[in-house]
Structure 1
Amino acid sequence: MDADISLVHAPSIFDFRTRDIKLGPISDVIPSTPVFEMYPVGFISMLNSLISSGYNARICNVAAMMVSSASFDPVKYLKHVKSKIYGIDLHWLPHANGALKVAKIIKDLHPDSKVLLGGFSASYFADDIMTHYGYIDYILKGDLQETNIVKLAGAEDSYQALDRVPNLIYRKNNRIIHNKIEYSSIDDVFLNYGLLMKNAIKYHDIKGHLPYASWLDNTEAMTVIEHGCSFNCAFCGGSNFAYKNNYNSVAPLYRKPLVIAEEISLVGEMLGSPVFITGDMNNAGEKFYSSLFKELKDRKVSLPLLTEYFTPPGKEYLNELSHRFPDFTVEISPESSSEVIRNRNGRPYSNKGLEDFLQNAVTAGAKKIDVYFTIGMSGQTVNDVNADIDYSEKLMKKFSSAKEKLYTFISPLTPFIDPGSLIYEHPETYGFKITAKTITDYFNLLENGKIWTDFLNYYTNWMSVEQIARATYESEIRMIKMRQSLGLLKDVDADEIVKNITAYMHGDDYISNENKSSHLSYIEKDVEWSNKHKLTRDSFLISLYKDYNDFKKKL
């Protein structure tokens, strides 16, 4: 079946399966693999808007299919995807290579169709892209495009009709045209996983609609409580500073608790899976989270919830969360054990505040607690990184028990400092040197790099690229040995990981995942309890489909 719009997600590096590259730790603290095969959750919301408005639309996760199968031919697949418009996300900059290569492939295969880019990075580099990449027809600039993509789908192929599509950038008479800026309402956002499943069946393309490669093995849904942010973490391209200056004039924009509860309730009915709530519910205020908890209670939602926090919430909030939802996890990113470095980089809280939160989370019964540290921060030296590992050991010893597990993670700022962030715009102020500036610079870094440090677009006044790399390897090894000594990691697994990282560090052969997608440290970041699913019709069908695919692989 032909589509009006196909939403296509590319891998970060298009030829990752055939190139001799060592991607290392570039995604060690996110659910996706180093290929970044998880498509933006906005795909699901835009799919809902398009289909609800009467258009035929589909999702094509090319990256996930390339990760899952060495024999999958992306060119052959895209040749058979017929669409008037192909919308490709260039949201985070690691996709600069894959997104542009897939766009060129699509234009060569379907020259009469239009190629659209969207996302933060496409918006930031919009003029650069439209000037130098003639096979890109359109860019939708900024965030919240649910309404605008529907208007684009309805526009006839005429300049007059295109004039009426807000935020659209296109060419007319060899000129780059910027239409008026007008964002969709936050109320237009709806993450409809039920529609996602139905659409996958409609197009006979279940794999193309999967959010990430391992979704069948570890099904997890996501909801978003806000667009934009109230904080200014110096390195973040989604910070208040970056968002207001590039993607929307208002931030943060909070969604209605009733709508969020509807999404989560639908997940319970369709998938019965855990739900990751992105955004800090506590920071949204008591009125917000109390209303959300009540709406979920009224719908009798009892799913495991994975929650994140930008600053430590208090005991009262955690107790209310625990009372309503006994199966929950928490995660927080202090970035550094140094309060000075943490505050310098936009995380305004003390170690005492952090530790009080961790104790309150344990008392409230959090099933798992994740604490994240980062290498390459403004003001951070190698000695500071070593201190972070010491502090990590203290936290794991103090707050882990037989019932509750606290895990700490550490990884470098990789592969890029986000465009639009405070550090990217004011590198001297933060002691950074940014070594790439144009979209072609980033395309070439990803095209020519052989090891993850080749991709970095920065170094600091305190740490060179070489020091960042060595600190990363050594801290990973210390972290693994620490988990082993605390009984949080089996001896055989810990020894294998340490052996792997040591070989990687010295340029020797190491054991790579068969689909070249594994994280360097090979640590599972999802907790076993979150694999519990309520049995629903759809979760049963997902299980059957997974078993079928596993059987095919064995054959």
Structure 2
Amino acid sequence: MKRYDAVFLHPPAIYDFRERPTFPGPIAYTVTESTEQFIIPPIGMLSIAEYLDRHGYRVVVENIGERMVQDKNFDVEGHIKGIEGSVYAIDLHWCVHAQGAIELAKLCKRLHPDSVIVLGGLTATRFHEEIIRKYEFVDVVIRGEAEKTFLELMNALDRGQKNMSVGNATLRVNGRPVVGPSAAPSESIDEFDFTRLDLLVPKSILFSKSRPPYCAHWSIPVCRGCVENCVTCGGSAYACARLLGRSRPSFRRPERIMEDLERLAEQGVKAVFLFQDPRMGGKRYWESLLSTLRKNGLPIDHLTLELFRPADAEYVKALAGLGVSVTLTISPESGVDHVRMAHGRNYTNAELIKTIEVCQENRVPLLVFFMLALAEDNYDTVKETWKLWEKICMMDQEARSEEYPITVNYGFGPMILLDPGSLAFDNPSSYGYRMLSNTLEGHIKQMEQPSWHQWINYETKYLRRDEIAKLILDTVEYSISLREKYGIYDRTTAFVEKFCYVDLSRLIMKEVDKIAELKDEKEKDTRLRLLQDKVREYFTKLGERAHAL
């Protein structure tokens, strides 16, 4: 049996997705890399594990979600039973993992009753008291930034302290949550290491050549914190202040980022996503960062960076001169100015178009990302967003060449879950939303429903949940047709994707809603399993028909 001091576990979104009938619908269309089980772990898991490892503790980061997706026969219970640890720590960073994280925590406690079960992450922080109060198998919730708190917890356990007072930790004492004092966030994130992929097992998804970006890849932060306040974001300035106690971002020194890239390259990583916009640190910071990268020479093949607002020619030209392939991403969320600005993105379509032109002039590909459905969205505003997508496709088609095959592209995703801890989650009526559930337990119950449209946790002043679901499918259908029109998809790909993600999803939604009206739970389960069998049969026939085309 393997023995560790701390075992970190990344869960799937839905723990028993292999046993229960589950219909992810268009979610599978928009998250192809991480899959609908969201199997890529948060970056912070590695920095926490490395921090403990550095201080002499034996640690491992187990990606249980990836193991379950990659191997349908993987025995979760047997695997975890064979890993002995004093502490089992499960990330509940993103709300989508609520059901998976809680079920995994329950399993760990059953298999290792004398161990300490810890949850952490932004979502766990937002619901820390509810978790300790309702889920007796969770012993500790670490709130906010966790590296130093986790070390303090491990040291206290080594001293035999059970009812210790640890900063940023909420514990159960006599059946009740006891909230430890809040600890100040780290002044500098330079002391943390986000590159220890050797601590992560497995990591085949990161080194896969069959999924985008088709090479070994990882992500590292420019900073921790944010200056923007997008109203549904759990990592906004508001959320960071409330959940992390961080009033301003801490930026990583350019020299440390260069070291990160070198360490990743030594491990075979070829592409890196440098997330958070360096321009938040001011011109002196981003100039220093790019100068350092350019002077030392990037040891990777591809670098992706974020734009939180439109970019000027000076910045894009500096990126183009880094000496490696660079891609930028920007997320206007909507193609309508007033919808975007109500969401917290304070720029216009004209500024966005100018950024596209600047990127094309400097041969820096740009991905423009949109989100459905926002507070001010309705059918008319979404159709206006579709028009902007077509303009983006036209701009790309006009600028393409053999050397520069993709100049600009768009992507989109349905919001589905409004982030806990965001401005809109905490004050929904002030921002045009209505929460269908505002507790962790409520979210888990929603995620245990069979179909994606039942997971949507909000409505807006213009759209009910069923209308949001319809709008999402209509948008997927439009996007597939648009990609076929501009040669991004061939006829076969468009046919397959429309059938899988639109036609089939519409049929499944109707059938699931009918089944939900049944009173007999056994009959419900039987009908859902029959539906799942039919869907699998459809996929088999689809494969045969696509092959014939």
Question: Whole-Å Cα distance in 1 between the matches of residues 161 and 324 of structure 2?
Answer: 55
Relative contact order, CA 8 A, sep 6+: which one is greater?
A: 1
- Deviation (angstroms), 1:285: 2.1
Kindly tell me: are residues 88 and 346 of structure 1, through their superposed partners in 2, closer, same or farther at Cα, counting changes over 3 Å?
same
1:498 aligns to what?
498
What's the counterpart of residue 544 of structure 2?
none
Tell me the amino acid that sits aligned with residue 143 of structure 2: K
CA distance in 2, matches of 1:406, 1:335: 16
- 1:279 equivalent to 2:276? Answer yes
Q: Distance in 2 between matches of 1:86 and 1:487?
A: 49
**Counterparts of 1:36 and 1:513 in 2: how far apart (Å)?**
25
Amino acid at match of 1:110: H
8 Å CA contact 1:32, 1:212 repeated in 2? no
My pick for the range that moved more, 334-343 or 394-403, is 394-403
Structure 1 contact 396–406 (Cα < 8 Å) conserved: yes
Task: Output aligned runs, 1:116-155, within 5 Å.
Answer: 116-142=118-144, 144-155=145-156
Contact 1:10/1:37, CA 8 A, preserved across alignment: yes
Question: In the alignment, is residue 15 of structure 1 matched against residue 13 of structure 2?
Answer: no
Match of 2:243 among 241, 246, 261: 246
Displaced runs of 4+ in structure 1, greater than 6 A? 511-514
Is contact 1:5-1:85 (8 Å) kept? yes
- Conserved in 2, the CA contact under 8 Å of 1:359 and 1:399? no
* Cα offsets for 1:262-313 (capped at 9, x unmatched): 1012112321411001101233322112211222234321421011111011
Deviation at 1:395, TM superposition (A): 1.2
Aligned partners of 1:504 and 1:510 also within 8 Å = no
Correspondences of 1:144-543 after superposition (within 5 Å) = 144-156=145-157, 163=164, 165-182=166-183, 183-187=185-189, 190-193=192-195, 195-197=196-198, 199=199, 206-207=201-202, 214=208, 218-303=215-300, 304-366=302-364, 368-400=365-397, 401-402=400-401, 403=404, 404-414=406-416, 416-447=417-448, 449-500=449-500, 501-507=502-508
Cα distance, 1:360–1:287 mapped onto 2, change above 3 Å: same
The Cα of 1:512 is off from its aligned counterpart by 9.5
What is the alpha-carbon distance in structure 2 between the residues aligned to residue 7 and residue 250 of structure 1?
28
The TM-score with structure 2 as length reference comes to 0.87
CA root-mean-square deviation = 2.2
Kindly tell me: are residues 299 and 313 of structure 1, through their superposed partners in 2, closer, same or farther at Cα, counting changes over 3 Å? same
Residues 225 and 246 in structure 2, CA contact (< 8 A), matched pair in contact too: no
SS at match of 2:279: coil
> Aligned partners of 2:118, 2:219: CA distance in 1, in Å?
25
Q: Distance in 1 between matches of 2:44 and 2:120?
A: 11
Instruction: Evaluate the alpha carbon distance shift between residue 327 and residue 296 of structure 1 in structure 2; reply closer, same or farther with a 3 A threshold.
Output: same
Of 43, 46, 68, the match for 1:44: 46
Q: What SS does the corresponding residue of 2:328 show, helix, strand or coil? A: strand
How far the C-alpha of 1:511 sits from its partner, in A, is 6.4
Unaligned runs of 5+ in 2: 512-533, 540-549
Shift of 1:211: 6.4
Distance, in Å, in 2 between the alignment partners of 1:11 and 1:141 is: 21
CA separation in 1, counterparts of 2:289 and 2:360? 23
| Cα 1:129–1:513 shift into 2, 3 Å | farther
Residue 547 of structure 2 corresponds to none
My pick for the range that moved more, 276-285 or 336-345, is 276-285
Question: CA offsets, 1:471-511, max 9 Å, x none?
Answer: 11111111111111111122211121112222222238656
Q: Distance in 2 between matches of 1:359 and 1:302?
A: 29
Indicate how the Cα distance of structure 1 residues 159 and 153 shifts in structure 2: closer, same or farther if over 3 A, else same: closer
Q: Which amino acid aligns with 1:306?
A: T
Distance 1:78 1:487 in 2: 47
Q: Contact between 1:432 and 1:460, CA under 8 Å: does it hold in 2?
A: yes
* Alpha-carbon spacing, 1:187–1:412, altered in 2? closer, same or farther (3 Å): closer
**Among residues 94, 119, 129, which one is paired with 2:96 in the alignment?**
94
Work out the percentage of aligned pairs sharing the same amino acid: 27
- How many residues align structurally? 502
Higher alpha-carbon deviation: 66-75 or 325-334:
325-334
Measured after TM superposition, the shift of residue 214 of structure 1 is: 4.6
CA contact (8 A) 1:103 1:135 kept: yes
1:54 to 47, 53, 56: 56
* CA distance in structure 1 between the aligned counterparts of 2:466 and 2:318, rounded to whole angstroms: 46
